[in-house]
Amino acid sequence: MPRQDRVTPLETLRGKAARCTACPLYRHATQTVFGEGDARARIVLVGEQPGHEEDLAGRPFVGPAGRLLDRALAGAGLDRSQLYVTNAVKHFKWKKDRSGGKRRIHERPAQSEVEACRPWLEQELWLVRPEVIVCLGVTAARSVLQRRVTISASRGEPLTSPEGYRTFVTIHPSAILRVPDQKNREAEEHRLVDDLRRAARIAHHAGRAREEETTR
Ligand code: URA
């Protein structure tokens, strides 16, 4: 079979995740939003869960938070096509807009829902084997690190996940969008760019060191 016709392990996993009923969230979501990107990425970005637009498109970070993230990645000299981008929870959790509008309002996933989804994230990480994981927000950080963290205490610290991945925690792009004052919003966006730049530098060095080791 020509190489491009082969189904990759990530695609097989995506197919299985599309039928996931491990928690109740699948009942009210349009579809599973699985991770996407370079299957050999040095950096994996983990968000919280898909939002309204991601749920409809079936792709992570394509809504307003995704646009901010893309801008921050560009600022850090990173191209999204070189990364693998996924979420801790793969179904959209939402409630009705009480004003009667059509837009569905994001609800934070319960810890039980994060836990139910963790096997998918675990397998994605195992298949991609990144040098660095960047957790966007506390839900992602708690899922990856398997413990409670706060952004203020853990941001910028090189951490290690139970599976041994170098892990960084930073603010979620949606939290930046909620900052009311434009100046503060811009400052937060700059901090996100700095965090991503740092993760990129460490991933680059770790990747080079690994390559040298394997060619020795
Ligand atoms: N927020 C997330 O955490 N993930 C997405 O995919 C979109 C918004």
Per-residue pLDDT tens digits for 41-81: 999 999 999 999 999 999 999 999 999 999 999 999 999 99
Distance 178 CA to ligand 1 centre (A): 14
Of 3.40.50.920, 2.40.50.100, 3.40.470.10, 1.10.10.10, the CATH number of 13-215 is: 3.40.470.10
Place of tokens 């609800």: 107
Domain positions in the chain: 13-215
Instruction: Tell me the whole-structure pTM to 2 decimals.
Output: 0.95
164: number of Cβ within 10 Å: 7
- Across the chain, mean pLDDT equals 95
- How sure is the predictor about 2, in pLDDT bands with cuts at 50, 70 and 90? low
Q: What confidence score (pLDDT) does residue 36 get?
A: 98
Determine if ligand 1 sits within 6 Å of the CB of residue 139. Answer: no
**What contacts 205, CB < 8 A, 6 or more positions away?**
none
Distance 212 CA to ligand 1 centre (A): 35
Determine if ligand 1 sits within 6 Å of the CB of residue 87. Answer: yes
From 44, 54, 86, 192, mutation site for ligand 1 pocket: most ligand atoms within 8 A of C-beta: 54
